[in-house]
Amino acid sequence: MDRYFKLIIILFFTFFLSFNLTSNTSLASKTENASSIVQKLIEKIQNIQETKYTEEEKRTEFLKVIETFFDMNIVAKVSTGPYWRTATSNEKKRYTELITELIADVTASQLGDISNVEFQLHSSFQKGDKMVIVSGELLVPNQSKSKINVNWRFSTPDSDVPKIIDVEFENISMLVAQKEESVAIIRKNGGVFSALITAIEEKLRK
């Protein structure tokens, strides 16, 4: 009886230790994975900056980067707040396409003409169950502010590759700002979701 009891205790501790080790390894791998994705993203941006593209080609390349590294479904959903539920499926699809284009356009205008952008990793940590934040400094030579604090927020679902869902520059979340803008536009137009789509289309045409 005593032997059985000891065996159960040993089995319990073995199980407990292996579970803890697995979950810690999984946490570490999630944060490491997210950090390496940021480095890959920076390399992609450097490649675009170093290659002689036309403005239109540059824009297309940045669009590919956004589609690859960002979870645009989450970005679209979160950036419209409560109005996402009121949109039709066609409106949701169109808005997701447009917001992707808008982010690509803004990124191309901000980073397209700069060279030698680098990222200095400071830390990478878990935030909640399914998010990781990769924090560091973006080094942008020949700009008025050559060091910009950046936090990349990743969604890290167990079943899929981690993707970026938000970027914070100098404590300012682009997603929070986008959400406030989108909600303000929809509200100003009496809660009509399509007004936001029209506003982004007009912005992209300019």
Partner 1 sequence: MILNRFFLTATFFLAFLSTSCSSVDEELISNRKDPFEDTNRKIFVFNDNLDTVVLEPIAAGYNKVIPSYAKTAINNHVYWVGLPNNTINSALQRKWENATISSLHFTVNALTLGFVNLLIEDEPPHQQDFGQTLAFYGVSEGPYVVVPVTGGKTSRHAFSEVINFVINPYSAFTENKTIDQAISFQPVLTTISWRATNFELVNDLKYNSLDAYVRARSAYYQNRFKKIQSYNNNNNDNNNAPSEADSLFDNLDTEG
Which positions lie near partner 1, rule CB under 8 A? Answer: 71, 74, 78, 105-106, 109-110, 122-123, 125, 127-128, 130-131, 133, 135, 143-145, 148-149, 151, 153, 155-160, 165-166, 168-173, 175-177, 179-185, 187-188, 199-200, 203
Structure tokens that stand for 100 in this block:
């992707």
Q: Taking the complex as a whole, how short is the minimal distance between the CB of residue 19 and partner 1, in angstroms?
A: 22
Q: Taking the complex as a whole, how short is the minimal distance between the CB of residue 71 and partner 1, in angstroms?
A: 8
Structure tokens that stand for 141 in this block:
């030579």
By beta-carbon proximity to partner 1, the closer residue of 16 and 125 is: 125
Residue with tokens 């390894």: 25
Q: Taking the complex as a whole, how short is the minimal distance between the CB of residue 131 and partner 1, in angstroms?
A: 6
CA separation, residue 6 to residues 3, 115, 120, 164 (Å): 5, 65, 51, 48
From the list 150, 162, 181, 202, the residue with the least C-alpha distance to 83 is 181
By beta-carbon proximity to partner 1, the closer residue of 18 and 109 is: 109
Q: Taking the complex as a whole, how short is the minimal distance between the CB of residue 141 and partner 1, in angstroms?
A: 11
Output b/e per residue, 21-39; b: 16+ Cβ within 10 A. Answer: eeeeeeeeebbebbbebbe
Determine phi and psi for 59, rounding to 5 degrees: -60, -45
By beta-carbon proximity to partner 1, the closer residue of 3 and 145 is: 145
By beta-carbon proximity to partner 1, the closer residue of 54 and 159 is: 159
Answer yes or no: are the C-beta atoms of 115 and 50 closer than 8 Å. Answer: yes
Answer yes or no: are the C-beta atoms of 90 and 109 closer than 8 Å. Answer: no
Q: Taking the complex as a whole, how short is the minimal distance between the CB of residue 175 and partner 1, in angstroms?
A: 6
By beta-carbon proximity to partner 1, the closer residue of 6 and 55 is: 55
Answer yes or no: are the C-beta atoms of 73 and 67 closer than 8 Å. Answer: no
